[in-house]
Structure 1
Amino acid sequence: MIVAAPAAAEEPIIGRASVIDGDTIEIAGERIRLNGIDAPESWQRCQDENAAEYRCGKEAAFALDQWLAESRPTRCVFVERDRYRRFVGTCFRSDGYEVNRWLVETGNSLDWPRYSNGLYADAQKRAKANRLGIWRGTFTEPCIARGEKAKRKPSC
């Protein structure tokens, strides 16, 4: 009789994070997709409260970079590998603050219930009520924007 053992979870990754975009970082050469959230793409544009267009994806990435620099190193706990073989995880600054949650509560990312099971819904409600980040104006959900750019059905 052969018994298949479950694959061992990967070890956490700890180190200085480089920001790739608003929901992807890199530590020690490993790309890490932040689990359960979806940030605007670096090329994506939004409108602020005065209907002025701005690069919301670039703004989200810049905010993340500044925030991570305040408390290093970053530690990421493995959730899974995605279809691109990226490490998908939940990350924390050295002070213990969860990166994924911070991005949603500051309005720099959206809760992605498809992957989070609504874990960040409360943080998103607060960001929206306080008109933080992308919530200060209008925007297209990142998953819809990607679909439109690729001329395919959105994967939301």
Structure 2
Amino acid sequence: MAIVTALGIAGYFVFEGGPAVSLTPLLGSMLGADPIAGIASVIDGDTIEIHGQRIRFNGIDAPESSQQCDDARGFRYQCGAKAAAALDGFLSESRSVRCEFASWDSYGRYVGNCSRGDGVNIAGWLVENGHALDWPKYSSGAYAGQQALAKAAARGIWSGSFQVPWEWRAEHIAIEKSTSAPLFATGNIGCKIKGNISADGGRIYHLPGQKFYDATRISESKGERWFCSEADARSAGWRRSKR
């Protein structure tokens, strides 16, 4: 019987009489952490979609779609929409994108480090041109240098005044929670769309009448959930079942 010994380096094991074997690729695949590449469509200033998978750029935060900022003259403008438009223009020059997995966020989105087809780091470009901010909570200051350049040159949102997106979002979420129904339902009271997580980490939703709807069981303890609309499911990072 082979004896397996764990090394001090995570993800490596030694079978007696043999070399160290890395299980990182296998574990990454099991966690749904494979790279994603393909033609990207823009969702907002820091989120794209490839092959039906929502991908949020790692380590940065762009103004929210409905967020407004003040320009150099003090006039209000839709800075969130402007950031999304800038990203769309940037990607139109090389629409193919490749993203390396970093984590899953609380909304079930794939968080990745993404590059344009010509190798340019997308998050870095957004920050350096003032369309997004370095997010120290998640970046450890990885884009602080690009942000300093944007601020010094008064590019994008740095040409006027703005509220940092994470603070703006926290305030508006608090308001929405006090005036709106929850986005995700607990159980299936009035919400019939099943948000399933497959063995490889894929997030797929099933509609009543689809082939696998009746056989699909939802386990909220595993992160699976019920949705009240397809829009809610897509915004949370799920894609529709093909059958």
TM-score, length-normalised on structure 1? Answer: 0.92
Partner in structure 1 of residue 71 of structure 2: 48
Partner in structure 1 of residue 14 of structure 2: none
Give the drift of 1:123. 0.3
Q: Which residues in structure 2 correspond to 1:125-140 (within 5 Å)?
A: 125-140=148-163
- In 1, distance between residues paired with 2:168 and 2:130? 17
**Over residues 110-156 of structure 1, what are the superposed CA-to-partner deviations in whole Å (9 max), with x where a residue is unaligned?**
0001101100000000000000000000000000111111227xxxx
Matched residue type, 2:144 = A
Structure 2 unaligned segments of length 5 or more: list them: 12-22, 176-243
Partner in structure 2 of residue 147 of structure 1: 170
* Structure 1 range deviating more: 3-12 or 108-117: 3-12
**Is 1:92 matched up with 2:126?**
no
Which structure exhibits the higher relative contact order, with contacts defined as CA atoms closer than 8 Å and separated by 6 or more residues?
1
Partner in structure 1 of residue 196 of structure 2: none
Partner in structure 2 of residue 25 of structure 1: 48
Query: Equivalent of 1:121, from 144, 150, 153?
Result: 144
Structure 1 unaligned segments of length 5 or more: list them: none
- Give me the CA root mean square deviation: 1.8
Matched residue type, 2:28 = A
- In 1, distance between residues paired with 2:112 and 2:122? 10
Give the drift of 1:83. 1.5
**Is 1:75 matched up with 2:95?**
no
- Aligned residue for 1:91, secondary structure, equals strand
Q: Which residues in structure 2 correspond to 1:99-110 (within 5 Å)?
A: 99-110=122-133
Larger radius of gyration: 2
Partner in structure 1 of residue 178 of structure 2: none
- In 2, distance between residues paired with 1:142 and 1:40? 5
Query: Equivalent of 1:35, from 58, 64, 73?
Result: 58
**Is 1:8 matched up with 2:31?**
no
Matched residue type, 1:126 = L
Give the drift of 1:85. 1.6
